[in-house]
Structure 1
Amino acid sequence: MLYAFKTRLPTPEEALPGRAEPPFRVPEKHTVLGTALLGPYPEGFEVADFALGCFWGAERRFWRTPGVWTTLVGYQGGITANPTYEEVCSGMTGHTEAVRVVFDPAKVSYEDLLKIFWESHDPTQGFRQGNDVGTQYRSAIHTHSPAHHATAEASRAAYQDVLAASGYGTITTEVLPAAPRAFYPAEGYHQQYLDKNPAGYCGLGGTGLSCPVGVAKAGD
């Protein structure tokens, strides 16, 4: 029964009920950057939410990016309020594993972050990423402004052309406004997991194709 929800999203009637308050405490500080995880964030900084498979490796990719002020992993895009990791893994919350990126737009652009997002995973795989199978691993961008939304959609169209030219299928990435889809921070042990466990599982891998134009290998 539960396996069925690994490959399809639950309806509101099927989803777990959740709870009014988080069932755990989130640490105050980023273990690498030393910045606040939950805010307050500096004035003028912007927020971007990305889902690209297992959030452990995805978060590290962004915290290593100059201009990123803090990163926070959590659950987004689903139905169940304040879920636990075990509930998300059941497939019965509708959430995907996501990374919240708080950045200084004077030092790194939203377009730069989108380039990292697209090149760090295969966005054509639907409810999986590599060997990780389930709705929690689906690709998604949750936007925080009309400008970000338009930019994300334009980058998806541009990268689709790149992928199609190399034989890949249709991008399955959701591009949706962050509100009213709440971002629920994950448990403390998930935050900056690969800083605490350097040899831990990452699971992050891209197609090797550059975004937004051309078919050269990323990094060439």
Structure 2
Amino acid sequence: MADTSGTHVVLGTPLDMQAEDGNLEIFLAGGCFWGVERFMWETPGVILTSTGYMGGKSTAPTYVQVCTGFTGHAETVRVIYDPKRVTTQELLAVFFENHDPTQVNRQGNDLGTQYRSAIWTTTAEQFEVAQLLKSAYEERIIAAGMPPIATEIHSPPPPVFYLAEEYHQGYLHKNPHGYCNHGFNGVECPSGVF
């Protein structure tokens, strides 16, 4: 079991922090969790990010186990954010724009169910916003000549999030030239549509 006693190497917040005092929690999977975590911790209003595993059938999975594809877990980033500083729509726009949400069980050369695109929401409002934004963004994606969005959107409550090993936490801060295939995908999300 991963150690939850540490603090985030960039944000300085406890890894076991709970979403309290009006802050919200959401779980995002969009390929290798190193890159997803970095563009989330760089988003103003995000209070905590942590990498882990979610959406599968095994308990207490390890990275090696998840990489086999047999656990069913996706590499996932837990995000706690202040909705007064960044709305759910703004946060999800960053998520959608910084990976290819049209790919099924992959991101670029990363292949397997662990790399699928998925959102696990914790409130009904998040679930509604995610569905509306996906629909609105899909129109732009298709107009740009890309396939429909494959991102899974799950209603609350989310399944158990298993914190990843310590070396995966804040990985691209600790290893600034480490592997990352994330970045702007070339299609902007609509803003202010709901």
TM-score bucket of the superposed structures, by smaller chain? over 0.9
Letter in 1 for 2:186: G
Counterpart in the other structure of 2:114: 136
Alignment check: 8 A CA contact 2:54 2:73 kept: yes
- Return the alpha-carbon distance in structure 2 between the equivalents of residues 68 and 138 of structure 1: 23
- Report the alpha carbon displacement of residue 63 of structure 1 after superposing the two structures with TM: 0.5
Please give the per-residue CA displacement for 1:170-218, whole angstroms capped at 9, x wherever unaligned. 21110002535211110000000011111111121342100026xxxxx
State the structure with more CA Rg: 1
Letter in 1 for 2:141: L
Counterpart in the other structure of 1:182: 160
TM score, norm. by length of structure 2 = 0.94
Alignment check: 8 A CA contact 1:122 1:205 kept: no
- Return the alpha-carbon distance in structure 2 between the equivalents of residues 180 and 118 of structure 1: 19
The gaps in structure 2 that reach 5 residues or longer are: none
Please give the per-residue CA displacement for 1:121-147, whole angstroms capped at 9, x wherever unaligned. 111110100111111000000000111
Return 166-175 or 35-44, whichever deviates more.
35-44
Match among 51, 70, 86 for residue 108 of structure 1: 86
- Return the alpha-carbon distance in structure 1 between the equivalents of residues 5 and 70 of structure 2: 26
- Return the alpha-carbon distance in structure 1 between the equivalents of residues 5 and 176 of structure 2: 19
Post-superposition, which runs of at least 4 consecutive aligned residues in structure 1 deviate over 6 A? none
SS in 2 for 1:66: coil
Counterparts of residues 27-46 of structure 1 (less than 5 Å): 27-46=5-24
Alignment check: 8 A CA contact 2:121 2:158 kept: no
Asked if 1:208 is matched to 2:186, the reply is yes
Please give the per-residue CA displacement for 1:138-159, whole angstroms capped at 9, x wherever unaligned. 0000000111101100111011
Letter in 2 for 1:84: T
The gaps in structure 1 that reach 5 residues or longer are: 1-21, 214-220
Counterpart in the other structure of 2:73: 95
- Return the alpha-carbon distance in structure 2 between the equivalents of residues 77 and 149 of structure 1: 16
Counterparts of residues 43-58 of structure 1 (less than 5 Å): 43-58=21-36
Letter in 1 for 2:93: K
- CA separation of 1:42/1:80 partners in 2, compared to 1, >3 Å: closer, same or farther? same
- Report the alpha carbon displacement of residue 99 of structure 1 after superposing the two structures with TM: 0.7
- Return the alpha-carbon distance in structure 1 between the equivalents of residues 36 and 119 of structure 2: 13
Alignment check: 8 A CA contact 1:77 1:96 kept: yes
SS in 2 for 1:47: strand
- CA separation of 1:192/1:109 partners in 2, compared to 1, >3 Å: closer, same or farther? same
Asked if 1:63 is matched to 2:41, the reply is yes
RMSD value, Cα: 1.3
Letter in 2 for 1:212: P
Asked if 1:80 is matched to 2:58, the reply is yes
TM score, norm. by length of structure 1 = 0.83
Alignment check: 8 A CA contact 1:26 1:187 kept: no
Question: What is the percent sequence identity of the aligned residues?
Answer: 48
- Return the alpha-carbon distance in structure 2 between the equivalents of residues 27 and 199 of structure 1: 27
- Return the alpha-carbon distance in structure 2 between the equivalents of residues 32 and 170 of structure 1: 35
Counterpart in the other structure of 1:5: none
- Return the alpha-carbon distance in structure 2 between the equivalents of residues 70 and 180 of structure 1: 18
SS in 1 for 2:130: helix
